[in-house]
Amino acid sequence: MPTELGARLRARDPAAVAQALNLIEDARPAKREAASALLAELEARGGEALRVGVTGAPGAGKSTLIDALVRELRARKKTVGIVAVDPSSQKSGGALLGDRLRLRSGAADDGVFLRSMAARDRLGGLSAATRAGVEVLASAFDVVFVETVGVGQSEAEVMHLVHSLVFVAQPGAGDSIQFMKAGLIEVPDVFVVNKSDLGAMAERTCSELQGGLGLNDAGADGWTPPVLLASARDAKGIDAVVDALYAHRHHLAETGTLRARLDRGRLAWLVTALRERYGSYGVEAIGGVEAVEAHFATNRAQTFPEILSVLSNEIEAALGTT
């Protein structure tokens, strides 16, 4: 049953976006129920938004790049929601990187909405609330960006929230490339070597990326990750980044892998949510990640919160808490 809040979200009422985000972060039991109902509805309707993860080393220029991308997208009449995952903060709202971005993009524009969310779980991973936040914004905006600082684990996690992962490379920094070569972090869909205004060093980093990762060969999914030079500061090369994002989304839709990718993300979300509630021990009690995956695969018609509630009951029964 559609909720009033869900309808207002789809109508892109800015007050509804803030209200929905507050609801999903509210820990009170009565609010948890309303939040689940809302997420069930958003999940069932499945927003058409383009979801983009932006990752990279601290200071690479992720926030500045998102800011430039927002301007380009606004010029193309697209609305944009942004989730900035703040790894240093335990509570959400008003985090530094968010505020810096808001200052530049102009708070008066109803077509842009930014929310900082804490990476709340104890291991420093993306919390279920972050995932839910992306779901909310994806129901109300054309494009959703998720900014995370690249520290290995967060790349893999954000990959499961989005359609496309952008890696912002710092000219002269080779560490991440070494990690990718070693298979320690996922290979992104689009590379942006930022700060092209620095000249030769940026160009060298571009060719190192292309050569070092063998990016000239398409991967198993038939997509060749482009390596683009840009200056977020000077707004150079930004239109090409936007084009690459839409091209990647188009590729996923054409090859039918869009669905599989989001399914992987939903599975990751389920496991995260269950671990937040019951710990890894609770998830193990019903057979671990494989059991969650099996349930997910055989109950495709169930909405996400429905699956969550069925598995929660199973875990509680297994742990003898009911």
Ligand X SMILES: Nc1nc2c(ncn2[C@@H]2O[C@H](COP(=O)(O)OP(=O)(O)OP(=O)(O)O)[C@@H](O)[C@H]2O)c(=O)[nH]1
> Residues in the site for ligand X, rule: CB under 6 A?
56, 58-64, 97, 149, 194-195, 197-198, 231-233
The item of ligand X, Mg ion, none sharing an interface with residue 232, based on CB under 5 to 8 Å by kind, is ligand X
Residues of the shown chain interacting with Mg ion in the complex, contacts defined by CB under 5 A: 62-63, 97
User: Residue 55 Cβ, how far from Mg ion at the closest point, in Å?
Assistant: 11
| Cβ atoms of 244 and 190 closer than 8 Å | yes
Residue 194 interacts with which of Mg ion, ligand X, none, CB < 5 to 8 Å by class: ligand X
Spell out a b/e string for 8-45, using b for 16 or more CB atoms within 10 Å of the CB, else e.
bbbebbeebbeebbebbbeeeeeeeebbbbbbbbbbee
Of 35 and 193, CB closest to ligand X = 193
Minimum CB–partner distance for residue 60 and ligand X (Å): 4
Position 308, amino acid: L
Main-chain dihedrals φ then ψ at residue 320, nearest 5 degrees: 70, 30
CB of 39 or CB of 95, closer to Mg ion: 95
User: Which DSSP string do the residues of 37-86 spell out, in sequence order?
Assistant: HHHHHHHHH----EEEEEEESTTSSHHHHHHHHHHHHHHTT--EEEEEEE
Q: What is the DSSP letter of 301?
A: T
CB of 261 to Mg ion, least distance (A): 25
CB 50 to ligand X: min, Å? 20
> Taking a C-beta distance cutoff of 8 angstroms, is the pair 166, 63 a contact?
no
Residues paired with 190 in a beta bridge: 166
CB nearer ligand X, residue 151 or residue 184: 151
Closer CB to ligand X, residue 116 or residue 139? 116
**Bridge partners (DSSP) listed for residue 236:** 231
Instruction: Pick the closer one to ligand X by CB: 202 or 311.
Output: 202
**Contact status, residue 6 vs residue 38, Cβ threshold 8 Å:** yes
Q: How far is the CB of 92 from ligand X (least distance, A)?
A: 16
Q: How far is the CB of 60 from Mg ion (least distance, A)?
A: 9
Give yes or no for a contact between 81 and 143, defined as CB atoms under 8 angstroms apart.
Answer: yes
Residue closer to Mg ion by CB (options 124, 199) is 124
Residue 61 interface partner, choices Mg ion, ligand X, none, CB cut-off 5-8 Å depending on type: ligand X
Q: Which does 211 bind (CB under 5 to 8 A by kind): ligand X, Mg ion, none?
A: none
